Amino acid sequence: MKFRSSLLLAIVLGAAMLSCSSKKTYKSTMHNLIPKPVSANETNEVFTLSDSTAIYVQSDSPADLQVAQWFADKIKPATGFALKVSASKEAPKAGGIYLIYGTDSTLGDEGYELNISKDMVRITANTPAGWFYALQTIRQLLPPDAELGTTQKGPWQIAAGTIRDYPEYTYRGSMLDVARHFFSVEDVKRYIDLIAAYKMNILHLHLSDDQGWRIEIKSWPNLTSIGGSTEVGGGKGGFYTQEQYKDIVKYAQDRFVTIIPEIDMPGHTNAALASYPELHSIDSSVANLQKNMEQHKETDTAINLYTGTEVGFSTLRTHKEITYKFIDDVIRELAAITPGPWIHIGGDESHVTSKEDYIPFVTKVQQMVVAHGKKVIGWDEIALSTTMQPNSAVQFWADADNSKLAVSKGAKVIMSPAKKAYLDMQYDSTTRLGLHWAAYIEVDSAYMWDPANYADSIRRENILGVEGALWSETITKMDDIEYMVFPRLPGLAELAWSPAAGRSWDEYKVRLGNQAPRFKAMGIDYYPSKLVPWKE
Ligand code: TNX
């Protein structure tokens, strides 16, 4: 009897200890990373972050130290540690995280090698961007609790081993439509943080459309005072002052994200046309279209703001000098506050601009962008222009022939096929937000394609990268953004970063499912697709 009860006690105690320890210690592993690194070899050890861990940067440039400080700030709320950041060229010793400049050319401009032992962490890269991506990787090696905003217990272990990693494509982007519905500077910053966490490096801001003009242009103030005053559904809209835009650009730069501003033209311009009647061209076909639209009634001198969701009814006057004065002013002011190399000129769905007018228009506007020192991006239709400027890119969304034409004119292609990369498409017919004109895009479908094999005529060497586009006709708040973007965006990020060889949904979905506690800790309102084995 005595023997049996002590045996029972031992079993009960043992089980309690087991469940306790499995609850307490998160097992860090290199096998759950998104995007998947080029190579990862785990040892059985762990490095444990403590309040005495220090970060040493092999440079005293403020921009370089900033990368380390970003990481220290990121993990401070949950760990409670104020990791000390300093410049040091001394040999690595125990207890440190070292950011080191290397000379390994296979790592390129964004790659890194991460060596983690139980004593120290060494990050070697050719650029601070490489350090930043290594630190994003370390973030994902930490327990999900590290993402929380209040002090947690730890322990803060990260799996030891070696990771070598670098991106497949240099352009890894996401587009946010702030025109159909306006999003605040704070929302845009959160979005930047979310995309950067998955090693994306481009945020394309769709700054103008029929329903709103969202960037201050000092020489044409009505664009924002009138054109920025509403949005889809008739809400109050909004716009970024140039100071706010610069603040967004800086925030993005600190996270190695380049902002690409888009001014969509000659179509998708109703907000501008309503702001300056001299820019609009009401020909009979437009007038007819407008008559069919209840909210959109023209008068002799001005046209109304538009808060519906039709596309393809507006156009700038392509024959008037004033139009080009307007565009030149806009591009000049935008180029002056945009340090990134690109300006996006839209060019899509100009259904009421005749082809004879469209071709010289987009040809000329491209020259204007180059004259202001920037490279051109446009939706794939701009391939119709007579000539394309050197170093231009078109964004493939629907018509492979356009992209093929662009390639024949010397341009590169950004892959955003609507059937795969449109983040405003519903997951299935029950999704409460979004559209489905291109497809229903479940999480597996968004992942199961290869940019380099998607369209026959567009090959790897023609492709600059991948961009997921979130149009916002139905998206009104940050939670909506998150719901549509997560979890499809991490998958697109992986298509852009990780090698295609050996890619499989069955393997990926497990890694994705294992991100659930991380999404939750980050406060991300994600779509819990039934196709993914979500971890509790
Ligand atoms: C097409 S694709 C558009 C946008 C819409 C979107 C909605 C493209 C270049 N234009 O104007 O917002 O569909 O899914």
Reported as a single tens digit per residue, the pLDDT across 408-459 is: 999 999 999 999 999 999 999 999 999 999 999 999 999 999 999 999 989 9
Q: How many domains does the chain have?
A: 2
Checking DSSP bridges between strand 212-213 and strand 208-209, what pairing results, if any?
antiparallel
Question: Of 126-135, 271-280, 285-294, where does mean pLDDT reach its minimum?
Answer: 285-294
Ligand 1 binding site (Cβ under 6 Å of any ligand atom): 311, 348-349, 379, 397, 422, 424, 435, 471, 473
Quickly list H helices, 157-269: 185-197, 222-225, 242-253
Reported as a single tens digit per residue, the pLDDT across 297-348 is: 444 457 899 999 999 999 999 988 999 999 999 999 999 999 999 999 999 9
Mean pLDDT across the stretch 472-480? 98
Are residues 249 and 377 part of one domain?
Answer: yes
What residues contact residue 521 under an 8 Å CB cut-off, 6+ apart? 144, 145, 146, 147, 148
Are residues 182 and 150 part of one domain?
Answer: no
Nearest to 462 by CA among 417, 407, 389: 407
Are residues 250 and 144 part of one domain?
Answer: no
pLDDT of residue 369: 98
pLDDT of residue 284: 40
Per-residue CA distances from 198 to 36, 173, 390, 478, 523 (Å):
10, 11, 30, 18, 16
Are residues 212 and 137 part of one domain?
Answer: no
Question: Of 11-20, 492-501, 509-518, where does mean pLDDT reach its minimum?
Answer: 11-20
Gap between the terminal Cα atoms of the chain: 40
pLDDT of residue 435: 98
Structure tokens at 219: 């020489």
Percentage, residues of the chain above pLDDT 70: 92
Are residues 243 and 150 part of one domain?
Answer: no
Mean pLDDT across the stretch 147-152? 98
Pairwise pLDDT comparison (11 vs 389), residue with the higher score = 389
Q: How far apart are CA 532 and CA 514, in angstroms?
A: 9
Domain finish residue from 165, 195, 230? 165
Q: In this structure, is residue 2 part of a structural domain?
A: no
Percentage, residues of the chain above pLDDT 90: 87
Residue 8 reports pLDDT greater than 90: no
Residue 20 reports pLDDT greater than 80: no
Question: Of 10-24, 120-134, 224-238, where does mean pLDDT reach its minimum?
Answer: 10-24
Q: Please tell me the distance between residue 361's alpha carbon and the centre of ligand 1 in angstroms.
A: 21
pLDDT of residue 502: 87
Residue 151 reports pLDDT greater than 90: yes
Q: Please tell me the distance between residue 418's alpha carbon and the centre of ligand 1 in angstroms.
A: 9
Are residues 134 and 230 part of one domain?
Answer: no
Could you list the residue range(s) of the whole structural domain that residue 215 is in?
A: 171-497
Are residues 158 and 66 part of one domain?
Answer: yes
Are residues 324 and 243 part of one domain?
Answer: yes
Residue 237 binned pLDDT confidence (cut-offs 50, 70, 90): very high
pLDDT of residue 303: 84
Reported as a single tens digit per residue, the pLDDT across 335-377 is: 999 999 999 999 999 999 999 999 999 999 999 999 999 999 9
Are residues 222 and 128 part of one domain?
Answer: no
Residue 23 reports pLDDT greater than 80: no
Report residue 181 CA to chain centroid gap: 18
Are residues 325 and 225 part of one domain?
Answer: yes
Atom of ligand 1 nearest to the CA of 346: 9
Q: In this structure, is residue 84 part of a structural domain?
A: yes
Q: Please tell me the distance between residue 422's alpha carbon and the centre of ligand 1 in angstroms.
A: 9
Nearest CA to ligand 1 atom 13: 471
Q: In this structure, is residue 525 part of a structural domain?
A: no
Instruction: Return mean pLDDT, the chain.
Output: 93
Q: Are 292 and 332 in contact (CB under 8 A)?
A: no
Are residues 67 and 209 part of one domain?
Answer: no
Residue 290 reports pLDDT greater than 70: no
Nearest CA to ligand 1 atom 6: 471
Checking DSSP bridges between strand 342-344 and strand 96-101, what pairing results, if any?
unpaired
Are residues 295 and 367 part of one domain?
Answer: yes
Domain finish residue from 165, 180, 209? 165
Catalytic residue among 231, 349, 381, 473: 349
Active site residue 467: no
pLDDT of residue 43: 97
